[in-house]
Homo-oligomer: A and B are copies of this chain.
Amino acid sequence: MISEKMMKLTQNSSVIRAMFEEGIRLAAIYGRENVYDFSLGNPSFPAPDSVKDAVMEILDSRDPMFVHGYMSNAGYPEVREAIAASLNRRFGTSFGAGNILMTVGAAGSLNVILKTLLNPGDEVIAVSPFFVEYGNYVSNYDGVLKVVPADRTTFQLDTEAIGEAVTKKTKAVILNSPNNPTGVIYSEETLRKLAAVLEKKSEELGEPIYILSDEPYRELAYDGAVVPYIPNIYRNTFVCYSWSKSLSLPGERIGYLVIPSEADDAQLIFEAASIANRVNGCVNAPSLFQLVAAKCVDEKTDLFGYDTNRKLLYEGLEKCGFECTMPQGAFYLWMKTPVDDDTVFCETAKKYNILVVPGKSFACPGYVRIAYCVSKETIERSMPAFEKLAHEYGLK
């Protein structure tokens, strides 16, 4: 009775759902504090006070007809101006309101640009491991996701392999840096190499291959690491941003899409993307939170808590003998499983009340993702459990 596409999704989604329910089941038996649930990418620190202050100030000072009313499908011009100005200050770009389209989070942003670009059968390249939803987003528009593995040592881009995966159907490459699930930040050097590859391929094809830069974790970079701004490296780049992580507002669904004027057909794409935003059912990004985002656009994210967790977890796991990638950004730690089958490993981990997501879910078996957006205490308390798990696999 439901569509074939949704039937497939409904059957597949049960894996993640099962994990969610497993967490609840284990908590009921052992107590919430004795279950080490590292499965969810939900920010563990509250929105900064400036968010509440911004809401209060907007509601106190502005006309409710303006605050809660319809605006252009692309968003309030003043909000888009403020974001453009902030990006210009940070990255030396020269964006204006006409380059910024407000969206229902980065997920909305990715869907809007994919809907705008893809004809059925068009190909989009994703670098594995990658965020599970990319496949669903591309399939929404009957596109085909082509998976190219990242370098298996550094988890940086394998630019040569990406070049080889390009066909005459290739429309875009999705990048996600800082990366979910690896925590890796793509270096400027790698990105420049990719730009050269894509420029050459675009020329050969006679049509641009766009980069879709999915950047919800941009502000979460540790040890002073710099996250290169890809439109400055490759002009045919569209940026999909969200305040879900940087302002801890994942439920509010507020983000934007950048369409630089330097991109091919920028104006037509902007116009089409505004319409895509409307007809896909979003209509516009939520109005009050557009205004809030503009007020908080230069807010600094407090990384201290995540950074503490990151070090604690990495050191603890290394001490246990696990092989980990030190995260440079985001709030995920990527760990090699001591057995090939990551699903089996996750099952074993559950015996010790540890919940982590198998790499298979990110198209990269043999690893697990450990989300450290949890309390410091959860990490501390989980360590003896990880030690037992390591022991079971004969590590150290």
A binding-site residues for B, Cβ under 8 Å: 1-7, 9-10, 13, 40, 42-43, 46-47, 51-52, 55-56, 59, 63-65, 67-71, 103-105, 107-112, 115-119, 122, 133, 136-137, 140-141, 207-208, 248-253, 264-265, 268-269, 271-272, 275-276, 278-289
Contacts and interface: CB of A to CB of B under 8 A. Distances in A.
A253 B286 CA distance: 6
A133 B249 CA distance: 30
B42 A69 contact: yes
Given A251-B286, A286-B251, A281 B137 contact: yes
Contacts of A105: 281, 283
Nearest to A67: B251
B281 A107 contact: yes
A90 to B, nearest CB: 24
A43 B46 CA distance: 34
Contacts of A110: 281
A65 B248 contact: yes
- Copies held by the complex: 2
Contact of A59 (B52, B111, B115, B278): B52
Given A1-B269, A281-B110, A70 B55 contact: no
A6 B52 contact: no
Contact of A69 (B43, B109, B112): B43
A301 to B, nearest CB: 15
B104 A69 contact: no
Contacts of A59: 52, 55-56
Contact of A251 (B7, B69, B272): B69
Given A105-B281, A272-B10, A252 B287 contact: yes
Given A119-B4, A269-B1, A281 B69 contact: no
Contacts of A3: 115-119, 122, 141, 272
9 contacts: A3-B116, A42-B69, A46-B68, A47-B64, A111-B281, A133-B278, A137-B279, A286-B286, A288-B289
Contact of A6 (B136, B250, B272): B272
Contacts of A5: 115, 119
A252 B137 CA distance: 24
Given A3-B117, A5-B119, A253-B286, 13 more contacts: A1-B207, A6-B115, A10-B271, A43-B65, A46-B68, A55-B59, A69-B248, A70-B250, A108-B281, A133-B278, A137-B279, A251-B288, A288-B289
A46 B68 CA distance: 8
B118 A279 contact: no
A287 B251 contact: yes
Contacts of A55: 55, 59
Contacts of A70: 40, 42, 250-251
Given A68-B250, A111-B281, A281-B104, A275 B13 contact: yes
Given A64-B52, A272-B10, A253 B117 contact: no
Contacts of A67: 251
Nearest to A136: B279
A253 B104 CA distance: 10
Contact of A284 (B136, B253, B278): B253
Nearest to A10: B272
A224 to B, nearest CB: 28
Contacts of A52: 59, 64
Contacts of A264: 1
A283 B51 contact: no
Contacts of A207: 1
A140 B280 contact: yes
